[in-house]
Amino acid sequence: MRFRPLALAAGILTLATAGLAVAQQWESSGILAYRQSEMKVLGAHMGAIKAVVTDQRDFLASVPRHAEDIAAVAKLIPSLFPEGSGAGTPAGDTDALPAIWEKWGDFQAQAQTMGKLAEELAATAETGDPMATAQAFAKLGKEGCGACHETFRKKSS
Ligand code: HEC
């Protein structure tokens, strides 16, 4: 067979493109898995704090640790939502609504609000007042998590 450099080059290019497509697909499903895991971590922290303020008050000293991690995730949230990773895109199985990228400023502000409320919860728990801690927890759940989900997350049917 005669050596055909052009055909060879085309073949290499095809392989490289296919590899890139696979890599991109892997990358976008990776970000979904990671951000949904981070959200589950938030859910676990909230569950732990709820147990403390409900009837496990001996563990009040653990609340700042949970709340500080929630505040840390708040800073991360914008980078967990790269453009093109929402519902209705080829990114995969996600409840992230297109509104996130249409109202990006509001979305970021919502993440910041969650961070601020989590810091407030940590500071309140540090005072050792269980009632005030329960109130700060409820506020974080409603105005931090709930408010963002209301606008930016697909309702589960
Ligand atoms: C700035 C917006 C925003 C904030 C704040 C936020 N979330 Fe979310 N959350 C989302 C979006 C968007 C999704 C859907 C993500 C997806 O499916 O890719 C989600 C998904 C979730 C999920 C489902 C994850 C899964 O299994 O797919 C849980 C649980 C969750 N959030 C808990 C929380 C908790 C608890 C808080 C507050 C401590 C919180 N979230 C704060 C936007 C937010």
Tell me the backbone φ, ψ of residue 62, rounded to 5 degrees: -80, -20
pLDDT at 26: 46
Q: Three-class SS of residue 96? A: strand
User: Which residues are CB-contacts of 151 (< 8 A; sequence separation ≥ 6)?
Assistant: 97, 99, 103, 106, 110
pLDDT at 30: 85
pLDDT tens for each residue of 41-69? 999 999 999 999 999 999 999 999 999 99
pLDDT at 28: 56
Q: From ligand 1's centre to the CA of 128, what distance in Å?
A: 28
Contact 30, 12 (CB under 8 A): no
**Of residues 64, 52, 67, 47, the one with CA closest to residue 115:** 67
The protein residue whose alpha carbon is closest to atom 39 in ligand 1 is 145
Give the helix/strand (H/E) hosting 5: helix 5-55
List b or e across 63-82, with b for residues whose CB sees 16 or more CB atoms inside 10 angstroms: bbebbebbbebbeebeebbe
The protein residue whose alpha carbon is closest to atom 6 in ligand 1 is 145
The residue type found at 35 is R
pLDDT at 56: 97
pLDDT at 12: 62
Q: From ligand 1's centre to the CA of 33, what distance in Å?
A: 12
Pocket test of ligand 1: the residue of 50, 101, 145, 154 to mutate, having most ligand atoms within 8 Å of its CB, is 145
What are the chain's domains?
Answer: 5-152 (1.20.120.10)
pLDDT at 15: 59
Q: Which two tokens stand for residue 87?
A: 């519902």
**Of residues 109, 102, 61, 106, the one with CA closest to residue 83:** 102
What residues line ligand 1, using a CB cutoff of 6 Å?
A: 32, 35-36, 39-40, 42-43, 46, 70, 77, 94-96, 107, 110-111, 114, 144-145, 148-149, 152-153
pLDDT tens for each residue of 2-12? 667 777 666 66
d(CA 52, CA 67): 12
pLDDT at 102: 97
- With a cut of 70, list the residues of the chain below it in pLDDT: 1-3, 8-29, 157
Query: Where would I find the H helices in 81-103?
Result: 99-102
